[in-house]
Amino acid sequence: MTNCYLVADESAKQAVLFDAPDHTAGPLLGEAAKRGWDLIGLWLTHGHFDHFAGHAEVRAKFPQVKVLLHPLDARKTSNPDLQTRMFGLPFQIPPLEVDEQIKDGQKLKLGSMEFTVIHTPGHAPGHVCYYCSGQKLLIGGDLIIGGSVGRTDLPDANHRELEASIRRIMSLPPETRLLAGHGPASTLEHERRSNPFVQQALALEGQASKS
């Protein structure tokens, strides 16, 4: 029930996989191979198990892939047994060695496309979104999830930080396409008009500016 996305610059024949859920990444890896795309990266939005559990399959098919993650979530991926026990998972996840720790504002290249890393803590301390202004595209992870938001009842989650991150993301152009970690695609404008959690976060900003 977790999304992963294969994004490519077809002229450069380069692609990146955003997140690697268990039992889900395989078909996209097959599609990349079929199209002759070089998978250069696995760019993780955060370190919850359902977003990186398939990392070994990715590296097995594309050994050259570089895994990116924010350092505040590195402990989750290097010690996956902590989540395996907490959630009672029926499978094991091998530890993940990250190739590069990313930071807020960092620019990442995929062929001719440029993505900006936006640190959006709340659901997880090291949660990030990846924004491509040229394509008006946001890989949003579990920040805003089609009518809802990422849960904050998990260890090291913080609801106030989540709302601040929502406000930051909602300052992007409203026509930006949102590809979330769960559920269907959306736009920031649609979430502004229909998502009560987003509306609440924005209302809090308005109240703060009046006080």
The pLDDT score that the predictor gives to residue 209 is 47
User: What gap in Å lies between CA 197 and CA 170, rounded to an integer?
Assistant: 12
Mean pLDDT by 10 residues, the chain (211 residues): 96 98 90 97 96 95 97 95 82 92 98 98 98 98 96 95 98 98 97 97 71 43
The pLDDT score that the predictor gives to residue 203 is 95
Sign of CA dihedral 188, 194, 200, 204: positive
The pLDDT score that the predictor gives to residue 125 is 98
Beta bridge partners of 109: 114
Longest dimension (CA), the chain: 57
Q: pTM of the full predicted structure? A: 0.95
The pLDDT score that the predictor gives to residue 22 is 87
Helix, strand, or coil here: 71? helix
Decide: 149 and 159 in contact? Cβ < 8 Å: no
Tokens representing residue 191 in the block: 């979430």
User: What gap in Å lies between CA 159 and CA 151, rounded to an integer?
Assistant: 8
Sign of CA dihedral 97, 59, 18, 103: positive
